Amino acid sequence: MASATDSRYGQKESSDQNFDYMFKILIIGNSSVGKTSFLFRYADDSFTPAFVSTVGIDFKVKTIYRNDKRIKLQIWDTAGQERYRTITTAYYRGAMGFILMYDITNEESFNAVQDWSTQIKTYSWDNAQVLLVGNKCDMEDERVVSSERGRQLADHLGFEFFEASAKDNINVKQTFERLVDVICEKMSESLDTADPAVTGAKQDPTFF
């Protein structure tokens, strides 16, 4: 987070268009599957078991280099409790990618994946790319959702699939990079027309 809180960073960000693309990504899934931890691991490379439950919605920004492009990721972390959906689904609009997360030690969170997928279809645009992520794969002893079931569900829904651990830093970076690649692929497929939603304009109306 050091770079983001640094005012120089902000100046730099705002003075020049220091990226080629800006992707808006949302992390969704049931409460306490580890969304915030996953984001913190990726953006700050830190993990603490001491996160508070997310109230509302939050986001972090990370700029990466991928395929010779500077890509600014705006990653939104959402409260998982169903009650917050009225607030969080408003932010689905304009998202280019979703990380749909469940907890491999929690059956219910896995059962809710289908429902979350429906939420994405309802509130976001058709081209949004989704990755299914089974988090907490470090807790093998408590696993209740097998990798196989995860993969099957992902296939069924047409998503790519990862098992990951924010705690042990397994597949976190890979998940985001794969999502970025998938978005880039989709973009080049449907591009030429220069979709304004994926250009890096600062006052991008799809931001909110």
Partner 1 sequence: MSCSGGPPPAALSTSGPVLLAGRLEEVPLEVLRQRESKWLDMLNNWDKWMAKKHKKLPTILKQAGPAQHWQRGWARELLVWTHGHSRPFDFQIRLRCQKGIPPSLRGRAWQYLSGGKVKLQQNPGKFDELDMSPGDPKWLDVIERDLHRQFPFHEMFVSRGGHGALCASCAHTHPSFPEQELDMSPGDPKWLDVIERDLHRQFPFHEMFVSRGGHGQQDLFRVLKAYTLYRPEEGYCQAQAPIAAVLLMHMPAEQAFWCLVQICEKYLPGYYSEKLEAIQLDGEILFSLLQKVSPVAHKHLSRQKIDPLLYMTEWFMCAFARTLPWSSVLRVWDMFFCEGVKIIFRVGLVLLKHALGSPDKLKACQGQYETIERLRSLSPKIMQEAFLVQEVVELPVTERQIEREHLIQLRRWQETRGELQCRSPPRLHGAKAILEAEPGPRPALQPSPSIRLPPDAPLPVSKAKAKPPKQVQKEQRKPSKASGQPDQPLTPNQAAVVTAAGDACPPQDVPSEDPAPQDLTSQDSAHHHSRESLTSQESEDTYL
- Residues in contact with partner 1 by the rule CB under 8 A: 1, 4-5, 7, 10-11, 13-15, 31-32, 36, 40, 48-59, 61, 74, 77, 79, 81, 83-84, 86-87, 90, 108, 202, 205, 207-208
Q: What secondary structure letter does DSSP report for 20?
A: S
> Which residue type, as a one-letter code, is found at position 110?
F
Considering the complex, what minimum distance in angstroms separates the CB of residue 135 from partner 1? 14
Q: What is the dihedral of CA 112, 117, 123, 125, to 10 degrees?
A: 160
Task: Quote the least distance from Cβ 156 to partner 1, whole Å.
Answer: 26
Cβ proximity to partner 1: between 52 and 194 the closer is 52
State which residue, 51 or 161, has the beta carbon closest to partner 1: 51
**SS3 state of residue 100:** strand
Ramachandran bin of 22, using left for φ above 0, alpha for ψ from -120 to 50, beta for the remaining angles: beta
Question: Which tokens hold the place of 16?
Answer: 């020049």
Q: Are 30 and 84 in contact (CB under 8 A)?
A: no
Instruction: Please name every residue paired with 97 in a beta bridge, in sequence order, or none if there are none.
Output: 25, 129
DSSP code for 206 = G
Is the Cβ of residue 50 or residue 194 nearer to partner 1 in the bound state? Answer: 50
The least CB distance from residue 172 to partner 1, in Å, is 17
Distance between CA atoms of 50 and 133, rounded to whole angstroms?
21
Q: At closest approach, how far in Å is the CB of 189 from partner 1?
A: 29
Select 7 or 122, whichever has its Cβ closest to partner 1. Answer: 7
Residues paired with residue 131 on neighbouring β-strands, in sequence order: 99, 160
Q: How many CB atoms lie within 10 A of CB 113?
A: 24
User: CB 207 → partner 1: shortest distance, Å?
Assistant: 6
For residues 193 and 203, which CB has a smaller minimum distance to partner 1 in the complex?
203
Length of the chain: 208
Question: Which of residues 76 and 159 has its CB atom nearest to partner 1 in the complex?
Answer: 76
Minimum CB–partner distance for residue 191 and partner 1 (Å): 25
Closest CA to 33 of 54, 4, 18: 54
